[in-house]
Chains A and B, each alone.
Chain A
């Protein structure tokens, strides 16, 4: 079976009158790999992800194989797409297992059998290494544990398209690597499409098969990590002077030297002190 492919053409999305993304097109995103979406704050990463999940009204075309997603209802989306929001819920008196269970039981396309759903939910927690948290309340978890619980609510749905908005932002380095490794394995094993928003460029370089860089609602670079992540891109998009080098283990490493101001020259205020 050919892996699924997601095609975005002429996509415009925004909030009310405010357009955040206009006329964005991307070459097909294919299943089996991990696409990292990076870019500075307010570049429109969350907006793009939410419009792929059908949560922001969008014009243009988002096709998953033969299906036009923009024409589907939220229920139609949920059968194919799972989305993990950037923000985590506060003060919820549910256990981790219950929250994961509700991801299946509340859905029009979800499980109807509670026992089977329980097993699936628990397997999702096990795969993330948090089955010991199953009976703990969401409101008594640490920020990172809460983020893992939130990730579980997305992967348990076993979607064709998995959209993750900064799933590792609250995690320690060990868990960051484990989650990225897991996401990569999930994509390869099931042949699903994974789009993941990251702020850590080195991690995007290491675990993603493709990197899409966004800047002000448009695509600034797109390609395999070593093609997309370049000093020129970092200067243009992130306004930093940086070197990109391959370390002795073969990973891309980004060394940021200093911040640049709008014109691209060294900004005085944040420059390292001279000795």
Chain B
């Protein structure tokens, strides 16, 4: 076979073609950043009380310059809801992207292995059975229960799967078993619930940003800050895992460990999100797909692009939830698909070639 020297023209041409590809991806990620920021500002500026964006910006930069009611609207409603939308969108999308890679399944989402069913059961226990933990501030009982169940279910899953040895199939099978178990348990609790508790539970499981507070934002931001660096540090290994498990292991990657740690991150992100805003489907499934179409599966670009896409879709969904039915704030979980699907379809049809 032909032996070309490292500095042959062909070699240089390919290297610069790759450099162009990398540049294009960085530009795309920059564009997604702008889109996300624009969507968030749009979200902040949208609401039943007509505050123009200029007032909102003034309210954020110089809180003293506005009257008290406007200040309250901006600081206690608009900002926390909008930031929660962004953070939850990013968290669910990152969780979905990692889940799709480690399960080697483009149909996986953060909730594939039962995280949201377990969280619903936790919420049901707190709402219907009135279980509570001591020492928790008001408003934290339900999310903490939801989180404990969600995270605990993943640990249980890991334990079961490791008893049986490695393998994605085992993990997915046990995950599906957990989904059915928790759904049955939730149904059981619903069966004995009072009318009022039942309604609360149904509303909770729909997913709503109206539960956002600054404390919860802080916790979710911390979880994102604590997990994202590890996700990014694992990005080459995740990329290699796309080439197959044997291949990745032959590169010296401990696939079992990689999968375990990724699943831990996914469950932390998904459980925290579910606990604070309820189940928001679809983002974790479709944001990674959009990111994949835009930048491919080099996880150095794929993971950030997923997060930004998820955040942008979630902000737009939040805008839609405020404007679709005038005067009413729809649960955002209901509109995410309405916003995400057109986005997705346009992108699928507009790609001439797939990367």
Contacts and interface: CB of A to CB of B under 8 A. Distances in A.
Interface in B202-260: 236-237, 239-240, 242-244, 246-254
A95 B106 CA distance: 18
A234 B355 CA distance: 46
Contacts of A97: 14, 18
A102 B239 contact: yes
Interface string A72-83: 011111110111
Contacts of B236: 102, 105-106
Interface residues of A, number: 57
Contacts of A178: 1
Interface stretch (A22-30, A122-130, A202-210, A246-254): A122-130
Given A85-B247, A89-B247, A92-B243, A123 B11 contact: yes
B137 interface: no
A181 B15 CA distance: 27
B297 interface: yes
A73 B251 CA distance: 11
Interface in A121-149: 122-123, 125-129, 131, 134-135, 137, 139-140
Contacts of B15: 118-119, 122
Nearest to B18: A97
B6 interface: yes
B298 A153 contact: no
Nearest to B242: A92
Interface string A59-98: 0000000000000011111110111010111011111011
A104 B88 CA distance: 34
B21 interface: yes
A93 B354 contact: yes
B296 A135 contact: no
Contacts of A103: 240, 251
B250 A77 contact: yes
Contacts, number: 139
A261 to B, nearest CB: 35
A107 interface: yes
A178 B2 CA distance: 10
B136 interface: no
B26 to A, nearest CB: 14
B296 A98 contact: yes
Interface string A178-198: 100110010000000000000
A153 B247 contact: yes
Contact of A73 (B106, B240, B254): B254
A110 interface: yes
Given A131-B11, A134-B17, A108 B246 contact: no
Given A73-B254, A81-B250, A119-B15, A129 B237 contact: no
Interface in B1-27: 1-4, 6, 8, 10-11, 14-15, 17-18, 21
Contacts of A105: 236, 239
A205 B2 CA distance: 24
A135 B353 CA distance: 13
Contacts of B253: 74-75, 106-108
Contact of B252 (A75, A102, A127): A75
Contacts of A139: 354
Contacts of A107: 240, 251-253
Contacts of B248: 106
Nearest to B254: A74
B78 interface: no
B7 to A, nearest CB: 9
A109 B252 contact: yes
B297 A129 contact: no
Nearest to A182: B1
A97 B11 CA distance: 12
A99 B254 CA distance: 18
B292 interface: yes
Interface in B99-113: 106
Nearest to A50: B246
A64 to B, nearest CB: 15
A53 interface: yes
Contact of A140 (B2, B10, B237, B353): B353
Nearest to B253: A106
Contacts of A256: none
29 contacts: A50-B246, A73-B254, A74-B252, A74-B253, A75-B252, A75-B254, A76-B252, A78-B250, A83-B247, A93-B297, A94-B243, A94-B297, A97-B14, A97-B18, A102-B239, A102-B298, A103-B240, A103-B251, A106-B240, A110-B251, A119-B6, A127-B1, A129-B2, A131-B10, A135-B17, A137-B354, A140-B353, A153-B243, A181-B1
- Across the A-B interface, the 3 shortest Cβ-Cβ residue pairs: A78-B252, A106-B240, A83-B250
Given A126-B2, A131-B10, A134-B18, 16 more contacts: A55-B249, A79-B252, A83-B246, A93-B354, A97-B14, A106-B239, A107-B252, A107-B253, A110-B251, A110-B252, A123-B6, A126-B3, A126-B4, A137-B353, A157-B251, A182-B1
